[in-house]
Structure 1
Amino acid sequence: MGDGTYRTPVLNADWSDPDLLRVGDDFYLTASSFGRAPGLPLPHSRDLVNWRLVGHALPRLEPAHEFRTPRHDCGVWAPSLRHHYGWLWISAPAGGVQTGWQGAFRSPGFFGPYEERIVLEQGDTDVDGPHQGGWVRTPAGEDWFAHFQARGAYGRVVHLQLMRRGSDGWPVIGNEGVPVAVHRKPDLPRQPPSAPATDDDFPGGRFGRQWQWTANPLPSSRLRSSRGDPHDGWATQLSGDGLRLTCVRTADAHDLRKLPNVLTQRLPGAPATVEVELRLDSEEPGARAGLAVLGDAFSWIGLQRGRDGSVQLVHRFDESVAMGAPPTPSGQWGKERDAAHARLAPGGRARLWIEIGRGARCRFSYDTGDGRRPSGPVFAATPWRWVGALIGLVALAPVGAGHAGAATFTRFRGTAAGSASLSAPASTSA
């Protein structure tokens, strides 16, 4: 915060089940990625407070045939990147995600016996369910503990707590076992402010490391546009700037939850606005593309090609699906409905905004050339069972023969409420 202190959470988005590792002067964190690809994100830090996403450990999910379609609460979770003080330690959560605590077990040998103790719990703070994290030691000999807090649609944000060894050898985390909100920074070299990227200019048609598909992308050998351009997933790589997404033909165009070709990033954990410019290049009747909030419920705003060749601005949504509910007679879990009346979009272009307020309440707006206008009612973002809501870019077309064309997205920006960009533009995926 500029005065030698920091405020938690240090990663204010869905970085669930964090674990930490120090290598020399560098700290690495990994977290659950569930059914998104690439998986197992790898943020890097030099001071445990300022983080930058440097890559992913898993380019694809296996077995591949299980992840051809989205499996949002499946996949990869609770990764581990521990021998301290001559003891073998097991750190384990208990008590449930919203009401739980962090337990510790120790033994001088692998086969026990183990002693146990609660080392972190909510106490009188607003950090409910603080648990399931990682313990790391700095070169100066300080111990720190990173843990998550489940925050509904925002997913599981990451908190950082000082940790010390008590007189009896047990770890004491935070303020005598209770989370702190503000604390002095770790005794590490000063670092410039940083955070995982959100903004993207899509240089050369490539997207940054902050983006993930909702399932395994198609192998590059199967991806060729009508012009023979190379692809990254369903994105065509061009020589200029702008992300060109293929309008994928699908029978599930009315339910974004079932699509593997939604390109997503995490929902910001504090009030913010995301925006992107869109051009619908496809001439296919029914082709559509847009900006979405995707969770157990979803809403999106974008452009759709009409049967008469015109392009309309559309805004649609669908409500949450009750867990275990049977499909509708048509075999669908749900079907989107209009959130606002369609209107013509001359030139097939629009700038799109989603304002994310407190409680993950989202307001949509657009500009098709005559100024920014609000669209539809407030939409409350919802998580899946274990995964927070996502911001997504998508391009679709009805079932049919041949290549259905594409849509081009440019200048994606995320801006914190009342301040500048959430992050600097990202380096592109490799």
Structure 2
Amino acid sequence: MKYKNPIIFSDYSDPDVLEYGDKFIMTASSFNYIPGLPILLSEDLVNWKLVNYAIENRLDFPKYNKPMYSNGVWAPSIRKHNSLFYIFFGMPDEGIFEVHTSDPLKKWSTPHLVKKGKGLIDPCPFWEDNKAYVVHAYAKSRIGFKSVLGIFEIDPKTNESISTDSLLYNGITENPTIEGPKVYKKNNYYYIFAPAGGVKYGWQTVLRSKSLFGPFETKKVLEQKNTTVNGPHQGAMIKDKSNNYWFIHFQDKGIYGRITHLQPLKWKEDWPVIANNGKPLYQSEAPYPSTKSQMKLNQNDMLNSKDLSLYWQWSANKNTKFYSTTPNGLYLNSHYEENGNYNLKLYPNLLSQKLIYRSFKIEVTCDYSLLKENEEAGLAFIDRTNIAIAIRNENNRFKVCLRNEEKTKILDEYKKMDSLVQLSLILKENSNKIKCGLKINNKSTKQDITFLKESIVSWTGLKVAIYSISKNRKKEYGKVRFSNFKILER
């Protein structure tokens, strides 16, 4: 059977993959979103399911109680050593951390500091001969330089740094913006798989040496060439159960985020040969004859369960005061943020999901009967943007609001809100218009919003979110009941 790329059309950025018994597990960057460090499970490297998170409720720094878009958890590495599973990850303002567990499908440890410092990112641990090292990259925005890789030694018992950080490889000339290193050893060679050239139009480089500390030979092993797969890089080499090798990487797709591809990998003269001699493949023979037809992600949610679905993430640290679950729907409590003034970028209680289709319609049903004065709740696209269809209780009127960045347009008004409301957002691939809709008492309101694709996302793609916020501080806040959330492919 053949599979088609991408294998995951969703924003699992900077993926890394590891064998897990006769299955495979994947993790990815999660930035400011909580829970963080997603854990995905697969039997065949093609079909993946979200099953857990390594960071459950919070990043333990006060600033992450507010949304810090583009910050937080950057590119992770997942490894197994002495019966424990580890994820090492960088936080560009805080340093390098690790979490660990004996079973990746269960609870992980709280993040433990490996090395403190600004600009230390993309760490990968490597254990050998009772010693342990971390190879990593640098964020120019925090430390003033990039395009080089560093290395330091850690205590194999405590996983804490015991040496100064040293230059390992300088890629300024041949591999500018080199980052995301992943370390492997095969046939007495040390290999560092690392992306270079930048997210949108970069390539995958491999460094090779008989010593972990170099000097290194280099080879470009994957690039766009004459395909539509731009910037095919940053990911994981993995061996399947038949001892065949594969490379999993991302492709930047703008508002959709960084989607996941799978490429076959062979070896020639101790160098990896990926896909069609370094040219990405749109399809290939599946790793296993028993591979099932590729599943499509399904993130529809009636919102009537005791626990939130794994697909939901908060825009900042989780707070149980944000919500309550009932058999009749999910209540989001209106939250006040000082100087928030309805600016969605500033509120921590936005509950969001990743996009999963190129063209789609999102629907959710809302009960606004408990929304109080100077409060607003709705359906939005979030990241570095304010695009929403919402209802605001203002001057004792329920106003239908269309939000586009700093502009708010009132489409309709109601004296009271005693009926269920259906909100919708429609986005078509290659369009710069979002169709916003509202239906109440069999009356429909529709309006288009024009947006600039490149200006509304950061390191992540757009997220779709439900929210309930307050403009004013008050003793008692209102709330809105959400139910029947759907993402429908069009």
Query: 1: distance between equivalents of 2:371 and 2:361?
Result: 30
Post-superposition offset of 1:42: 0.9
Q: Find 1:23's aligned residue among 20, 23, 40.
A: 20
Query: 2: distance between equivalents of 1:314 and 1:42?
Result: 37
Matched, 1:272 2:272: no
Post-superposition offset of 1:377: 3.2
Deviations 1:242-275 (A, max 9, x none): 1110011234142101111100111234111111
2:286 equivalent in structure 1: 185
Alignment of 1:313-332 (within 5 A): 313-318=400-405
1:370 equivalent in structure 2: 442
Query: 1: distance between equivalents of 2:357 and 2:207?
Result: 32
- Check whether the contact 1:155–1:383 (CA below 8 A) recurs between aligned residues: no
Letter in 2 for 1:356: L
1:337 equivalent in structure 2: 407
2:333 equivalent in structure 1: 246
Query: 1: distance between equivalents of 2:446 and 2:426?
Result: 10
1:56 equivalent in structure 2: 53
Query: 2: distance between equivalents of 1:83 and 1:21?
Result: 15
Deviations 1:45-83 (A, max 9, x none): 111111110011111443321201111111111101133
Of 65-74 and 282-291, deviating more is: 282-291
Q: Find 1:8's aligned residue among 2, 5, 8.
A: 5
1:136 equivalent in structure 2: 238
- Check whether the contact 1:265–1:390 (CA below 8 A) recurs between aligned residues: yes
Where relative contact order (Cα < 8 A, 6+ residues apart) is larger, the structure is: 1
Q: SS in structure 2 opposite 1:187?
A: coil
Q: Find 1:398's aligned residue among 471, 474, 481.
A: 471
Return the TM-score normalized by structure 1.
0.84
Alignment of 1:222-233 (within 5 A): 223=321
Letter in 2 for 1:124: N
- Check whether the contact 2:267–2:273 (CA below 8 A) recurs between aligned residues: yes
* Identical residues among aligned pairs (%): 30
Please, which runs of 5 or more residues in structure 2 have no aligned partner? 79-183
Matched, 1:414 2:480: no
Q: Find 2:257's aligned residue among 146, 155, 177.
A: 155
- Check whether the contact 2:436–2:448 (CA below 8 A) recurs between aligned residues: yes
Does the C-alpha gap of structure 1 residues 356 and 85 become closer, same or farther in structure 2, counting only changes over 3 Å?
Answer: farther
1:46 equivalent in structure 2: 43
Q: Find 1:173's aligned residue among 269, 274, 280.
A: 274
- Check whether the contact 1:282–1:404 (CA below 8 A) recurs between aligned residues: no
- Check whether the contact 1:46–1:191 (CA below 8 A) recurs between aligned residues: no
Matched, 1:292 2:369: no
- Check whether the contact 2:383–2:463 (CA below 8 A) recurs between aligned residues: yes
Alignment of 1:293-312 (within 5 A): 293-308=381-396, 310-312=397-399
Please, which runs of 5 or more residues in structure 1 have no aligned partner? 224-233, 319-335, 418-430
Matched, 1:74 2:71: yes
Letter in 2 for 1:279: D
Q: SS in structure 2 opposite 1:161?
A: strand
1:230 equivalent in structure 2: none
Count of residue correspondences: 381
Alignment of 1:373-384 (within 5 A): 373-380=445-452, 382-384=455-457
Deviations 1:198-221 (A, max 9, x none): 111122353200010001022x4x
Letter in 1 for 2:395: R
Does the C-alpha gap of structure 1 residues 47 and 241 become closer, same or farther in structure 2, counting only changes over 3 Å?
Answer: farther
Post-superposition offset of 1:37: 0.6
Q: SS in structure 1 opposite 2:430?
A: helix
Alignment of 1:94-133 (within 5 A): 94-133=196-235
Letter in 2 for 1:406: K
Query: 1: distance between equivalents of 2:213 and 2:275?
Result: 30
Cα-Cα RMSD: 1.9
- Check whether the contact 2:392–2:400 (CA below 8 A) recurs between aligned residues: yes
- Check whether the contact 1:280–1:288 (CA below 8 A) recurs between aligned residues: no
1:210 equivalent in structure 2: 311
Q: Find 1:358's aligned residue among 420, 425, 429.
A: 429
Does the C-alpha gap of structure 1 residues 383 and 43 become closer, same or farther in structure 2, counting only changes over 3 Å?
Answer: farther
